Structure 1
Amino acid sequence: MEKLQEHFIRIRKLLDNTFFRILFFLVLGIVLFTAMFNNVKPEKLDIELFSVAGKTIRSPGTVEDKKSTEKKRKEARDQVQAVYTLKNEYTQNRVDLITSIFSAAAEVNDEVKDNKKKQAAEASEEPPQIIEPSVSEKVTMLKSKLTPTVSKDLSDQVFSALVQANNEELSIAKDLTVTAINNVMTKRISADEVENAKKRVEEEVKYSALSENMRIAAIDLGRYAVIQNEFYDPSATEELRRQAAESVEPVKILQGQIIVEEGKLINQDIYRQLKLVGLLHNEKSFKPFIGLVVLISIILTSLYCYFYQMKSHPEKRQSFLLLFGMIFILSIFLLKILSMLQVFNYSAIGYLFPAALAGMMIKILIDEKLAIMTSIILAVCGSVLFNEGVSGTLNFSEGIYILFSALGGILFLSNQNQRSKILQAGIFSAVVNLLTILALMYLPNGQYSGLEYGYYFITALVSGIASAVLTIGLLPFFEASFGILSTMRMIELSNPNHPLLRKILMEAPGTYHHSVMVANLAESACEAIGANGLLARVGSYYHDIGKTRRPNFFIENQIHHDNPHDRLPPDKSASIIIAHVTDGSNMLKKCHMPKEIIEIAEQHHGTTLLKFFYHKALQANPDVREDDFRYPGPKAQSKESAVVGIADSVEAAVRSLSQPTPELIESLVKKIVADRLQDGQLNECDLTMKEIETVTFTLCETLKGIFHSRIEYPELTKKVKQA
């Protein structure tokens, strides 16, 4: 395992280089492309025109059939009837024309009367001789008042009848004729209906009480007046045809639609549709591969941006990247293996995929946000890999199943940091799997047998349990290989039954109590500044493990014992006290404890000076070297190590006070922090002055709560006095 860890460390160091980091993502891209290549490769059909289909063929996608669309639109245009417009003004024009003819005839009569009166007035003889115009002359007079066209179109018999009638008869004839014309021409009269309309006018006039000649003239005038008043409107007709064509929805060959059933003849139309959807001569089509490359590019770009923006130490970020790559490739490998079993026609074989595995492992080892992101990516990849037997390239049911299953496991673990909870998360994921499958079965109103329900129930259960079992089995491997101190690992290390903690409790109970107090102080201070409070707590539990080698040499363990330092020279006492740091580091390394815990044990004293023994040595030898009384270090490299070191000094100092008051506690804490700053013990960690102030305030508040004054109970006081 150590050799494997060394290999991972070498690879992680390579990832510090931008070239190798990009190469790493390219490898991920190649893995994804290789896994999904066959699933997006266009299906090639060896089909000829007028052959018999060997299987039922469905459309792989939705495509518009432009030829059928245009055909339907042409049919819609052809079904539109021609638009004819009624010219209402024609009726009034013809009525006015006939009225003017009758008016002209009345004018002729008036002129003849006026002429007679004039002749009578001018005659000298008695009786006067009056010359009346002949009928032909009156006709001539009437024609002169009309247009040449009207004069030409009407017969002289009509004009003769008009000029021979008196004005009263003309008025009656005019009214009858105009009424008949208006009645007929208010209705539509097409070119074919003109003669019928003329006959209707004739029918209305011929039974009138007019004289024979006048009735004939009125009929002729009525027939003459009736003309076509309905005409073809090309613009309106074209507009209706355009609207009819636009109302036709495009004809589409829908995804999953059956183009030809097994055993049916492939005629020209079916052959055209097969070619249209890309099932013929598609061996040269690169569009699916381009689409796959674009999809993979989106996935890799989002992952690269995520890791690039991750707020972690570069070394830790590269470890996370390598760890993610291994988990991701493992998940893709499992997806591919299961997808290859689709050739056996097992229904919904993809539901066996342990979808929650990657999500739970990344949640535990790296980050919840990345776990959710990975779940989405795996859902997309799964929908591509399990597209056998579905229309189109994506199996949305499988994608939804993977996404919900993974999210179920992640969310259950969000506040559950014990390894024993992983199995419960797997069971919860199995329940989510079952509910998701039921939803996917019921949404399309499908009909399933009891055997199928049982099969789906088993797949859901196996997927959830397998996710938990694989997570439990793989976690120790990844934690040991990458030296990762996960939340679950830290909680396990904080268990009082851990062998090292039991060793401290049994061999150095005072140190154990001191470590617990330091843990409480350090955790609250770290959480106040946004550091890892749990790491500070666990590190505090083990920071003084080295004291178990010589527990009686440390004051917290000297209850009812003499102080052995009273019999030792200061330099010897100092070396024993200082040795607990290196002894503790060696013990932790021997037990393969995480490096973060070892670093806290090594760095919690930094290079501070053992002032008591140093000043005691100065009294005996003024030339004593100060470095001989300093801890070997190194100084605190992280916020957690620095806070644990401050909390360790503060707890020991406050515990030594006989009557700790809030003011005294606050003064002591500030003095210890100031000494650490002045001695340069916090120079190598990334604590800011603002955070140091927050740590100081938090430690003071916590200590005030621990060492608050208590009231004396009267009965207890009385018993003490009596004793």
Structure 2
Amino acid sequence: MPSQSSIEHHSWWKKIKNHRYIRFFLFLIFGLITFGLLASNVIPDNIDIEAGAVSTQDIRSPVTIEKTEETERIQQEAAESVEPVYTLNARYADNQMERINDVFHSIRLIQLEVREQRGDFSNIGDAEAGVTQDEDQNVWTMEERIEELQARLSPELGEQLSEETLQTLLNASSEELQVAQEATTSAVYDVMTEEVGLGDVSEARENAEEKVRAASVRAGLSDAMTEVARRGITANYMIDEEATQEARQSAAEMIEPAMIREGQLLVEEGQVITAEVYEDLSLVGLTDDNYNYSPLLGLAMLVFLMMFVLALYLNKAKTSLQSNNTHLLLFMLVYALTLILMKLTSFLYQTDLPGVSYIVPAAAGTILVAMLLQSRVALFMSFLLSIAASIIFNQQTSGMMDYSFGLFVFFSGIAGVFFLNQSNRVSHMLKTGTLISLINLTIVMALILLKSLPLSIAELGMYAGYAVTSGYLSIILAVGLLPFFEAGFGVLSTSKLIELSNPNKPLLRKILLEAPGTYHHSVVVANLAEGACEAIGANGLLARVGAYYHDIGKTKKPQFFIENQMKIENPHDKIPPKKSAEIIIAHPYEGADMLRREKFPKEIIEIAEQHHGTTLLKYFYFKAKEAGEKVSENEFRYPGPRAQTKEIAIVGIADSVEAAVRSMQSPTFEKIEDLVRKIMNDRLEDGQFDECDITLKELHKVFLSICETLKGTFHSRIDYPDDEDMKKVEGE
């Protein structure tokens, strides 16, 4: 058999495609390719400049970053500019009142103790009693009384009040002390209830002195009261450290961070690069002395996430990529090819043509995946491509990603998938390209309006022209590359199926000319199988084309099959049943060999090879037993394999049903339904569906679809009256 060009037939791929780690290595290699293509777009351009030099170009920041030192400096200045917070402490007035009352209370206690020493309990002071220190040696002297009084008073007052004042108060009578206490405390209270700052203490003391001297007391006592009052006045309007700290903290927090914004102009062409400007350039990673590896690390994480999400999706989605590593390799090659096309297109930016990057054939990859594999996978691919495109086409932005271009690639890609589904014939590709171009034009105009780009009419026309060209380039590339991928990977696409269904194909012509009954049988089977597959969501077109070729093996000995035995003697009547069975059983495998030699897709070959599964040739088996031969049932069974897919199972059902119904005498709807049900039940009980994933619910839908199609084929016809009947009618 001639060697085939499909990768499936290469020995090296056969050895590794089912290796347990092959999928991991495919994703790893694909991730490295993606990283390599995107790396140059995320590395900041280092500028060869020095402080004090003149810039030869406008330089903008590629990132948004905070100037930490500048922010701290501004915050410090803001905090220091906040004035201290003062508060009136009402407790100070109460404290001073308590101290003054304590002075007079201590004096009364000492006077009481002195009277007890004398044995004199009259309520008069020493000055009124005319007592001197020498009259009674057991009584405290004035010096001792003053010392005792100073010891009992608080340190502030005890040390501040003069001995003369203390002596005056110790010599005062009870009535004088009462008047002095009331006048002094009243004066201190009145002054201390007002705000008394540190600079206002002297004035407050003078105010208190005026109030005290207004009292009607003797001159000496008035002086003592004045001194007590002055010492009782202190500052009560003080700095609140906690409130001041909070105010300064709040002022610092109100300061916006000093930022360098993405796209901010750091230095203009011809401007001298000062030390401050150079520091900013270094901070954003544009100088040689501050190379920043974080973009590469970020890209690596993004690519890993893209590969991880892709692996999860392909593992969950019920597509051929879930287990078919050949299809996975095909997907990754198409993806990589699309990335390379985008990378090459991005270099056109250097031509300075407005909007030239929009000429990228972004939809080519998704169209190829939709045609070769599955539309849902193509939609997911457009999402990943949009992420990559936003990095590849970042020349027009100062940042690492241009999300607007990502949107363009995303919408262009999904447009290719959606419109291809509606018109998937090669002859309609021009229409598909036109629709993609319209979507491209719409999204480009939308982006221009969103950005409010000040474009001239000529520039606007160039943007539109490139977007429209992108749509047509995408479809041209997809159609041009499609045959190479089909041949290289043995993929059976929709366009390939349509091509194989052409009646002028050599093998179909061979069936028609050498086995016309088989050809008619195959066409009916194709109609039955296609409708049943579409009823359960299987590939109806694959079933139709497979049915066309499923009996190609009968062309080896067409006269041994009943549909071709018109006006000839049945050759099976002249040979033993076992020999007849061997001829009949051989046709699926002879047909598969013929298809392999013609390099047909493996899906068509499998339909031809598996459509009979391991069913039993009951007619010849029982004929052999009736003839008295000792036979085994396995000798009259097809060797298989059994149907591996839904499409093969349905073609097998349709094949048996068509042959059985064709041999019926006077078929009715009821008879047809009973026959179809019996055939399907026999195959189910015989285990012919055990190796494919068709369900009982789907088999019921297949039953309904086949019966509906057969009813249309064997519909009741009107019995037209013959000539004799017409004469009788006319005679009447």
TM-score normalised by structure 1 residue count: 0.77
Cα offset, 1:652, TM superposition: 1.9
RMSD: 5.4
Deviates more, 1:130-139 or 1:396-405: 130-139
* 1:454 alignment partner in structure 2: 461
* 1:258 alignment partner in structure 2: 265
Please say if residues 533 and 543 of structure 2, whose CA atoms lie closer than 8 Å, have aligned partners that are also in contact: yes
In structure 2, relative to structure 1, the CA distance for the partners of 1:584 and 1:180 (3 Å cut) is: same
Please say if residues 266 and 280 of structure 2, whose CA atoms lie closer than 8 Å, have aligned partners that are also in contact: yes
**Partners of 1:118 and 1:412 in 2: CA distance:** 124
Please say if residues 68 and 251 of structure 1, whose CA atoms lie closer than 8 Å, have aligned partners that are also in contact: yes
**Partners of 1:616 and 1:547 in 2: CA distance:** 22
* 1:189 alignment partner in structure 2: 196
**Partners of 1:160 and 1:313 in 2: CA distance:** 114
Cα offset, 1:226, TM superposition: 0.8
In structure 2, relative to structure 1, the CA distance for the partners of 1:135 and 1:618 (3 Å cut) is: closer
The 3-state SS of whatever aligns with 2:194 is coil
* 1:153 alignment partner in structure 2: 161
2:412 is aligned, of 396, 405, 410, to 405
Please say if residues 555 and 563 of structure 1, whose CA atoms lie closer than 8 Å, have aligned partners that are also in contact: no
* 1:346 alignment partner in structure 2: 353
Deviates more, 1:313-322 or 1:187-196: 313-322
Does residue 64 (structure 1) correspond to residue 66 (structure 2)? The answer is yes
**Partners of 2:116 and 2:590 in 1: CA distance:** 153
Please say if residues 44 and 282 of structure 1, whose CA atoms lie closer than 8 Å, have aligned partners that are also in contact: no
1:137-160 deviations in Å (ceiling 9; x for gaps): 899599699545657614747965
* 2:326 alignment partner in structure 1: 319
* 1:686 alignment partner in structure 2: 691
Amino acid in structure 1 at the alignment position of 2:91: E
In structure 2, relative to structure 1, the CA distance for the partners of 1:697 and 1:16 (3 Å cut) is: same
The 3-state SS of whatever aligns with 1:404 is helix
* 2:37 alignment partner in structure 1: 35
**Partners of 2:266 and 2:196 in 1: CA distance:** 52
Please say if residues 370 and 417 of structure 2, whose CA atoms lie closer than 8 Å, have aligned partners that are also in contact: yes
* 2:17 alignment partner in structure 1: 16
2:441 is aligned, of 412, 434, 443, to 434
* 1:596 alignment partner in structure 2: 603
In structure 2, relative to structure 1, the CA distance for the partners of 1:306 and 1:170 (3 Å cut) is: closer
**Partners of 2:114 and 2:251 in 1: CA distance:** 65
Please say if residues 111 and 170 of structure 2, whose CA atoms lie closer than 8 Å, have aligned partners that are also in contact: no
* 1:274 alignment partner in structure 2: 281
The 3-state SS of whatever aligns with 2:57 is coil
**Partners of 1:431 and 1:481 in 2: CA distance:** 33
**Partners of 1:659 and 1:106 in 2: CA distance:** 142
**Partners of 1:523 and 1:331 in 2: CA distance:** 34
* 1:95 alignment partner in structure 2: 97
The 3-state SS of whatever aligns with 1:474 is helix
* 1:127 alignment partner in structure 2: none
**Partners of 2:332 and 2:3 in 1: CA distance:** 20
Cα offset, 1:190, TM superposition: 3.0
2:568 is aligned, of 546, 561, 564, to 564
Please say if residues 352 and 462 of structure 1, whose CA atoms lie closer than 8 Å, have aligned partners that are also in contact: yes
Q: Percent identity?
A: 37
**Partners of 1:518 and 1:318 in 2: CA distance:** 32
Cα offset, 1:487, TM superposition: 3.2
Does residue 392 (structure 1) correspond to residue 399 (structure 2)? The answer is yes
TM-score normalised by structure 2 residue count: 0.77
In structure 2, relative to structure 1, the CA distance for the partners of 1:27 and 1:567 (3 Å cut) is: closer
1:228 is aligned, of 231, 235, 251, to 235
**Partners of 1:616 and 1:93 in 2: CA distance:** 128
Please say if residues 27 and 307 of structure 2, whose CA atoms lie closer than 8 Å, have aligned partners that are also in contact: yes
The 3-state SS of whatever aligns with 2:5 is helix
Does residue 703 (structure 1) correspond to residue 707 (structure 2)? The answer is yes
In structure 2, relative to structure 1, the CA distance for the partners of 1:118 and 1:597 (3 Å cut) is: closer
In structure 2, relative to structure 1, the CA distance for the partners of 1:307 and 1:704 (3 Å cut) is: closer
**Partners of 1:162 and 1:110 in 2: CA distance:** 11
* 1:48 alignment partner in structure 2: 50
* 1:77 alignment partner in structure 2: 79
* 2:341 alignment partner in structure 1: 334
**Partners of 1:111 and 1:288 in 2: CA distance:** 90
Does residue 367 (structure 1) correspond to residue 371 (structure 2)? The answer is no
Please say if residues 38 and 391 of structure 2, whose CA atoms lie closer than 8 Å, have aligned partners that are also in contact: yes
Instruction: Map 1:98-177; keep pairs closer than 5 Å.
Output: 98-99=100-101, 132-134=128-130, 146-147=149-150, 153-154=161-162, 156=164, 160=168, 167=175, 174-177=181-184
In structure 2, relative to structure 1, the CA distance for the partners of 1:136 and 1:276 (3 Å cut) is: farther
Instruction: Map 1:306-705; keep pairs closer than 5 Å.
Output: 317-414=324-421, 416-420=423-427, 422-490=429-497, 514-523=521-530, 525-526=532-533, 531-543=538-550, 563-565=567-569, 570=574, 594-601=601-608, 603-605=610-612, 638-639=644-645, 640-660=647-667, 664-665=671-672, 668-669=675-676, 672=679, 682=688, 686-687=691-692, 691=695, 695=699, 698-699=702-703, 702-703=706-707
In structure 2, relative to structure 1, the CA distance for the partners of 1:344 and 1:132 (3 Å cut) is: same
Deviates more, 1:314-323 or 1:472-481: 314-323
Please say if residues 342 and 388 of structure 1, whose CA atoms lie closer than 8 Å, have aligned partners that are also in contact: yes
The 3-state SS of whatever aligns with 1:5 is coil
Where in structure 1 are there 5+ consecutive unaligned residues? 121-129
1:137-193 deviations in Å (ceiling 9; x for gaps): 8995996995456576147479659967893x7766654543332222123323322
Cα offset, 1:315, TM superposition: 12
In structure 2, relative to structure 1, the CA distance for the partners of 1:240 and 1:135 (3 Å cut) is: farther
**Partners of 2:672 and 2:528 in 1: CA distance:** 13
In structure 2, relative to structure 1, the CA distance for the partners of 1:286 and 1:489 (3 Å cut) is: same
Please say if residues 162 and 214 of structure 1, whose CA atoms lie closer than 8 Å, have aligned partners that are also in contact: no
Deviates more, 1:640-649 or 1:499-508: 499-508
**Partners of 1:428 and 1:350 in 2: CA distance:** 20
Where in structure 2 are there 5+ consecutive unaligned residues? 134-139
Cα offset, 1:91, TM superposition: 1.0
In structure 2, relative to structure 1, the CA distance for the partners of 1:85 and 1:313 (3 Å cut) is: closer
Cα offset, 1:225, TM superposition: 1.8
Cα offset, 1:638, TM superposition: 3.4
Deviates more, 1:575-584 or 1:281-290: 575-584
The 3-state SS of whatever aligns with 1:259 is strand
In structure 2, relative to structure 1, the CA distance for the partners of 1:638 and 1:97 (3 Å cut) is: closer
In structure 2, relative to structure 1, the CA distance for the partners of 1:426 and 1:85 (3 Å cut) is: same
